[in-house]
């Protein structure tokens, strides 16, 4: 089974900019995994300072299998996860 490592930044700025909504969306997707037939293990964690704060307007930051997504939204993150789960 494929594995996806998803990290959501939990710094104050990312939380203020919507990190919790992204986290909720990922948790919902994990619950729907069976119905969507996603053959992938999704490991999700919240970590502080995952981005190194390279730019001021990067928040919220999500890292999926080492790919950094700046200014992430639940829609962008869900789309990326679904795409990666479907790739062979
Ligand atoms: S640690 Fe969250 S944006 Fe840099």
Which residues are registered as beta bridge partners of 80?
A: none
Does residue 22 surpass a pLDDT of 80?
yes
Does the beta carbon of 59 lie inside 6 Å of ligand 1? yes
Q: Output the CA 55–ligand 1 centroid distance in Å.
A: 9
Residue 38 or 68, more confident:
68
Ligand 1 atom showing the smallest separation from residue 14 Cα: 2
Q: What is the mean pLDDT of residues 35-56?
A: 78
Does the beta carbon of 51 lie inside 6 Å of ligand 1? yes
Give me the domains of the chain, ranges plus CATH numbers: 2-85 (3.40.30.10)
**What is the pLDDT at residue 30?**
85
Q: Where does the pLDDT of residue 74 fall: very low under 50, low under 70, confident under 90, or very high at 90 and above?
A: very high
**What is the pLDDT at residue 70?**
93
Give the span between the Cα atoms of 17 and 20, in whole angstroms.
Answer: 9
First CA to last CA distance, the chain:
11
| Among 88, 80, 87, residue whose Cα is nearest residue 29 | 80
**What is the pLDDT at residue 51?**
66
Does the beta carbon of 83 lie inside 6 Å of ligand 1? no
Backbone φ, ψ for residue 23 (5° rounding):
-60, -45
**What is the pLDDT at residue 53?**
66
**What is the pLDDT at residue 33?**
75
């Amino acid at each position: 089974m494929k594995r996806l490592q998803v990290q959501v930044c939990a710094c104050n700025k990312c939380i203020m900019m919507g990190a919790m909504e992204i986290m909720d969306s990922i948790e919902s997707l994990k619950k729907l995994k069976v119905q969507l037939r996603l053959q992938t293990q999704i490991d999700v964690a919240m970590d502080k300072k995952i981005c190194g704060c390279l730019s001021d307007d990067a928040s919220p930051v999500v890292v999926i299998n080492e790919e950094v997504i700046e200014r992430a939204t639940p829609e962008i993150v869900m789309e990326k996860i679904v795409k990666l789960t479907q790739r062979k």
